[in-house]
Structures are given as C-alpha cells and as structure tokens.
Amino acid sequence: MPINSDVIAPLGNAELSHRRPAKLDRFWYGAVYYPEHWDAATRKDDAKRMRDAGITIVRMAEFAWDLMEPEEGRFDFSLFDDTIGHLGDHGISTIMCTPTATPPRWLTLKHPHLGRVDVNGVVQIHGTRQHACHMNPVFRQYSRAITQDMAAHWRASTHVVGWQTDNEINCHFSECHCASCQIAFQQFLRRKFAGDIGKLNADWGTAFWAQTYDRFEDIPTPRPEKPAYANPAHHLDYFRYLYDGVARFQHDQVEILRAQKPSWWITHNGIMSHVDYRGLFSQDLDVLGYDVYPMFHWEHTTRAAGQAFSCDRARANAGNFIVPEQQSGPGGQRPYFHDTPEPGELRSMTYTSIARGADSLLYFRWRTCRFGAEEYWCGIIDHDNVPRRRFDEVKRIGAELRAIGPEIMGTHVHVDAAVAGADIHVSDAHSTYHLGLPSDVDISWQVHKELFDAGYAVGCIHPSDDLAGVKLYVIPHWAVFDPAWVPNLTRFVERGGTLVIGARTATRDWNNNVVPDTLPGCLRALAGVTVEEYGKQNRPDLRPLTLQLPGGTELRSENWFEQLSCARGTEVFATWKERHLAGSCAISLRRVGTGHVVYVGTYLTTALAKALQPEFVRLAGLSKLWPDAPAAVQAVRREAVGKRLWFFLNHGEGEVTLASTPRGTDLTTGKSSGGPLTLPRHGVAVIKEASHELPGARKPKARK
C-alpha cells in the first residue's frame, strides 16, 4: 500500500453550501451501540427494544479494534457479525466505524513511536484514546489495513449501510510535534510552496528574528512560547498542515471504503479543533456529522441559543449534517456531571438539532456503561437496564419521526440574517495573534444570540457561500480575510443586502501578515471608509469611550476603538464622544446599489449588538420569522421548493401560547394547525404548511 500519498482525489462533493441537504435516502434514527460492553442475553433483548423505540440504525465498533484484531493479522469479527445480523433481523441497519481512535496495545507496544508528542515534548501513552499520530506513516499503514479488512469483511452485508471514519478526530488533542510530524510538515510546506524556499521566506517574513531557511528539511514545527513568540505565518501554516494531515489520514480510509462498495455512505463526527470542515475533509464525505451535546452549555437559560448557534456553525461548513451522537442523558467525566435533561427536554434538544439542519440523528448512547472512563455518560437506558422516562421519550420521538422524517429530507434551513462562520483559517489565525481580544467565535455567538432571542431566522454562512435571500450579513472581526470573497459580498449588497463589518476585519492577509494597505484593506472601497487610528482599550473602566448612536443612545465601547474617516457618499452613523476621538466617526454607513454597508469601528458586544439591532433590522428590512411566537419560543423553518416545515420549540420555564400558527398539520399530533397553539414547558410542534407561494410551488386556486 502506498504511504503518504500526496493526492486526495477524487473529491465527490466539492459543492459545499449551508443550503446543501444531506445525500441520504432517508432520515435515520438511532443510537450508538457498544455490544462489547454487554453479555449475549442483554444484547438479544436490545434489538427488540430498539425496534419498539422506532430505531432504524445503530453505530458500532469505533473503539473495538482490540476485539476485531486481537493479535496482529488475526481477525475476529464474530461479535459484530452476530450483532449486526440480529439487529438486521429486527429491521435495524448499522453504521460501522473504523476503530482508529483506539489502536490496540499490541500495536502501541510494537511501535512506541506512534504516540503523539505535545508542545512540551511529552509523548502521549496508551491507556486513553487518540494517542496515535495521524501523520505517522506506520500508523497510517495500520489504519489502512484494518479499514481494508473490515470493509472486505462487511462488503456483502446488506445491513451495513454506511461508515464513520475514526471518531471525533482531534477531540482531545490536535497538535503533534513527533518526529514523523517534522517530516510531514516539511513535505506539506514543500508542496504548498511548490518547492520554492524563497517564496516561503518571503511569505512568512523570515527576515524577522533570523528565521531564513535554506531548505524545507530545516523547518521545525512551531512551538510558541518555547521560549518566545512564534512567527504567526509559520504558526498558521502549521495549523494548515494539521488540516491537510487529518484530511489525508481520513482519505486513506474513504478511498478503501468507496472502492469496496460505492453505495456505502461515509461520514465523520465533528466539530473539533484544527480540522477544516469546509475544506478537503468534508469534501471527501457524503455528509458531515456533528455531535450535539447541549448540556456542556451550563446555563439552562441560554442553552437553546447555544445549541442553535453550534448547529448553525456546523451547517455553515457543508450544509445539512447528521448527528452521530445526540446527548440522551447527563454526561459525566472525572471532573464534571451535567444537568439531567428534564422530562421533555431530550425531545426539545432533539428537535432543535433537526430544525437547524440534522438530516439523521443517533443518540449517545443506547445504555450507560458501568465501567471505563465514561461510566457516568448516561445513555437512553440506565446502568441497571431498566427503561425509564428517557427511553419513553426516545420512543415517542421515534414514532413522530415516522411522519416527520420523510418530510425533512431534501429541505434546507431558511436564513434571513447570518453571521459569518465556518472558516478555520480565520479562527486559527486569531489564536496565533489574538492581542488579548475576543475571538471571532466569541463575538459571533453574541451577535447570533441577539438575533435568535429576538426571533429572527438567524444562521451562520461563510462569506464565499450563497447569500441569495439573506437580508443581513454580519462579519465580526475577521482579521485574516481573503480578497476573493469581496465580489460575493459586493453582489450581496448591490442586490439589497445589509452588510455589517466589524473592526479589524481584513487587516491581515492569507499568510497571516498585516496587509500593506490602509485599513480596512480590501474592504475599504466597499465600506467607503478608512481607519485613521486604532487602539485597544485595556482598561475601559478607567478611560471610558462612548459611542453616540442615532436617536441619542450612548453606549460604552469595550476592547477596541477605531477612528474612521468617511469617503464621499459615506455617512457618519455614530461618533465618539470623548478624548482625542471626540466628534470623529465610530460607525459608518454607505449605500451601495440597493443595499447598505455598515462599518463598526469597535468590537461588537452583547450591549452593542442589542443597541444596533433595530437599525440593522430597519436597514435590512428584516422581519421576525413568526411574529406570533412568544419570546420563549424558537421558531425555525425548513423548506424546499413547494414545501415548508415549521418548528416551534418552547424553551421557557412555563407553558406558552402562540396566538396563531401556520395553516397546515402539526406532524407531532396529526391535528390541523392555523389557530392558537399552547406548548407546555419543553413542548414542540412541527407544522407542515398547507400551501404557500414559494417559487415553483403550485398556487392554490382562488376561491369564490
């Protein structure tokens, strides 16, 4: 088998978009299952119970390499054969996983150099998971071999319908500085710079601190603060090397699986650090998986908003996703134990995922295990194997999904207002040189939450993606920025969109160096503004700066100020009040085509996002998705040509009533909708609208 193959091809799904529905023929509903944790009698009963709960698929084997290959070259797939067959007899299909997150002990003993090495030079040892380096050629060879053996073994199975590669690559630890990584990093750079070391020196600015390199073989992986600050261009290219490396590692497996049986669909469960889910990694998959654990959001009052934001960010990468792991109980690990979902809350979290882009969903996990590192990560069924209310809830959802699942497929999530998202290069660049400022993700979350709380159809979209139909688009402080995105943004504005650009956007180039232009660089012409001076507010409490907004509102800025000067045709929208900035422009507004560009010369905060929202709404002509939904209710619409599905989810502490609902059928009850609807705490309605006038939909005949 070839080692370190340089080419990833063919890539089947290059057209990634937030609007892309999953390439699946049905909505799968299921659970993550570990037959290796249970005896034969228990396993026997499981299949019947699963079928009763409406489960149509399980996922298996991601940590079972030691059982399937107990000694090198000796395979025993019998446990999984029996389980797959037995489940299949009950109408339940299987997603198999390549087990490469947990190499067996014989492998790590035979090849101790597989261990990842952290930034301090500490080698990760056997005993947990994800300790082997994806770039190690020996590990890649073993990973290919086990994938090949599993794929060949299950090729003829009619019950295995899809595969998950590995498990949450980079979940615990994403960097590695082992000996293999030194070589693989150098190979990556040689490819990236087409063998031109002079170009690397120029692009990285190696003239600073005597870093000039004569040969690619001389370049180490960067170790920031060992002893001093790293070159940010070197650092970002190291992260890009990690994206490339895990995509290649995964591709080895994808290639083998596709060659064995092209009809298998392939996924991977994210979203973790240093993986480019909008790049090669997801282009290689049929559908991206996103593991949803809302209970990590500790504050229940903002948990639904947090889940919505994470699902929207996931969807921004590659479109609709599947949820290979949806939290089904409290999760516990050595240092924490989550809130226990209240009655109805599991259902509400499930429908939040579905509303915001899930095209299939499996719970983590079928039953809580009594041993090992995750013995308090609760599943649908408790340790004692007694099905209780969580099981009943899963069963209820299973029954509902018989009607809802087929309606979901092929639809996308409707978005009126979006926050820029899904660019790992931008987010990682921030981490290389953050100046002590909040990240793009921190700020996106605040802006998204304000729009979510106010009832707008909010989402996350990458600036190069399809912005058609979107009315408001906010780019919060994307310092690294690709000029190639500007034409798409210009089109968006010319056609009537409102673009909001946060301070410091487009101040750094794709190499992660400061741009030579006057700021905001490649966005200067579109925004019609120049930044004359900028500064960080380290103690805004001691030297406050106030923004004077239209209508007399005054608001303190935090983090950052910019003094703007407006080009002809650009209006001053807000001014600074104090110190040497007094009277100068803080926020500008420019009309372009039938749209607007707002440049905000400070960092967006919750308070500022709240204060500016009415102005953004007015400029963008934004209206609430379902004005009759009370504040506690999340309203989301999934749609396709000729179809609209409405989700209403009550996240409040008590019962709420919507004064009206779309006319159609509530698929959770089968009852007609249109009038008022009362939802209990954690209550959910999924309404299929009877008729509407989406392009392509047949207009209802006029009644006399």
Binding site for ligand GAL (CB under 6 A): 167-168, 171, 291, 325, 331, 364, 374, 377
Tell me how many degrees the CA angle 695-701-704 measures, rounded to the nearest 5: 145
User: Shortest distance, CB of residue 368 to ligand GAL, whole angstroms?
Assistant: 11
Min CB(324)–ligand GAL separation in Å: 8
Closer Cβ to ligand GAL, 136 or 167, answer by number? 167
3-state secondary structure string, 561-615?
A: EEEEEECCCEEEEEEECCHHHCCCEEEEEEEECCEEEEEECECCCHHHHHHHHHH
**Beta carbon of residue 394, minimum distance to ligand GAL (angstroms, whole number):** 17
- Contact of 564 with 584, CB cutoff 8 Å: yes
515 close to 509: Cβ distance less than 8 angstroms: yes
Interacting residues of 315 by C-beta distance below 8 A, sequence separation 6+: 18, 321, 356, 357, 413, 459, 460
Separation of alpha carbons 404 and 508, rounded Å: 46
DSSP 102: S
- When the beta carbons of 171 and 514 are compared against ligand GAL, the nearer one is 171
CB of 99 or CB of 222, closer to ligand GAL: 99
Q: Pick the closer one to ligand GAL by CB: 168 or 440.
A: 168
Q: What is the DSSP string of 33-96?
A: --GGGS-HHHHHHHHHHHHHTT--EEEE-TT-HHHH-SBTTB---HHHHHHHHHHHHTT-EEEE
Dihedral angle at the C-alpha atoms of 183, 189, 192, 193, nearest 10 degrees?
A: -130
CB neighbours of 551 closer than 8 A, spacing ≥ 6?
Answer: none
Q: How far apart, in whole angstroms, are the C-alpha atoms of residue 281 and residue 58?
A: 24
Q: Which residue has the tokens 């909001």?
A: 500
Q: How far is the CB of 268 from ligand GAL (least distance, A)?
A: 11
Angle at 385 between CA 381 and CA 386, to 5 degrees: 80
Nearer to ligand GAL, 208 or 336 (CB): 336
CB of 289 to ligand GAL, least distance (A): 10
Residue 171 beta carbon to ligand GAL: minimum distance, rounded to whole angstroms:
5
Q: How far is the CB of 62 from ligand GAL (least distance, A)?
A: 7
The answer to whether 666 and 685 have CB atoms below 8 angstroms apart is yes
CA angle 363, 368, 371 (to 5 degrees): 135
Nearer to ligand GAL, 62 or 428 (CB): 62
- Residue written as token pair 């003239």: 207
Which C-beta is closer to ligand GAL: that of 171 or that of 607?
171
CB of 168 to ligand GAL, least distance (A): 4
Residue, CB closest to ligand GAL? 168
Residue closer to ligand GAL by CB (options 37, 681) is 37
Least separation in angstroms between CB 381 and ligand GAL: 16
SS3 breakdown of the chain: % helix, strand, coil, rounded to 5? 35, 20, 45
| Closest separation in Å from C-beta 273 to ligand GAL | 13
**Closest distance between ligand GAL and the C-beta of residue 297, in Å?**
15
DSSP track, 455-507: T--EEEE-TTS--TT--EEEE----B--GGGHHHHHHHHHTT-EEEEETTTT-
Classify strands 633-640 and 643-650 as parallel, antiparallel or unpaired.
antiparallel
Q: How far is the CB of 111 from ligand GAL (least distance, A)?
A: 24
- Rounded CA-CA distance 92/589 in Å is 57
Q: Which is nearer to ligand GAL, 325 or 639 (CB)?
A: 325
Alpha carbon distance 459, 176 (integer Å) = 33
Q: Which residues neighbour 392 within 8 Å (Cβ) at sequence distance 6 or greater?
A: none
SS3 158: coil
Give the span between the Cα atoms of 669 and 646, in whole angstroms.
14
Phi/psi at 35 (nearest 5 deg)?
A: -60, -25
Nearer of residues 216 and 377 to ligand GAL, judged by Cβ: 377
Whose CA is closest to 256, among 376, 119, 163? 163
Nearer to ligand GAL, 209 or 336 (CB): 336
Least distance from C-beta 109 to ligand GAL, angstroms? 24
Please give the Cα distance from 102 to 68 (Å, whole number).
12
Is 682 within 8 Å of 342 (Cβ atoms)? Answer: yes
Q: Which is nearer to ligand GAL, 375 or 554 (CB)?
A: 375
Nearer to ligand GAL, 67 or 426 (CB): 67
Q: Encoding tokens for residue 637?
A: 């619409």
**Residue number with CB closer to ligand GAL (222 or 331):** 331
**In the complex, least distance from residue 333 CB atom to ligand GAL, rounded to whole angstroms:** 7
Which of 321, 336, 323 has its CA nearest to residue 378?
Answer: 336
The answer to whether 450 and 606 are in contact (CB under 8 A) is: yes
| Rounded least distance, CB 663 to ligand GAL, Å | 41
Q: For residues 333 and 678, which CB has a smaller minimum distance to ligand GAL in the complex?
A: 333
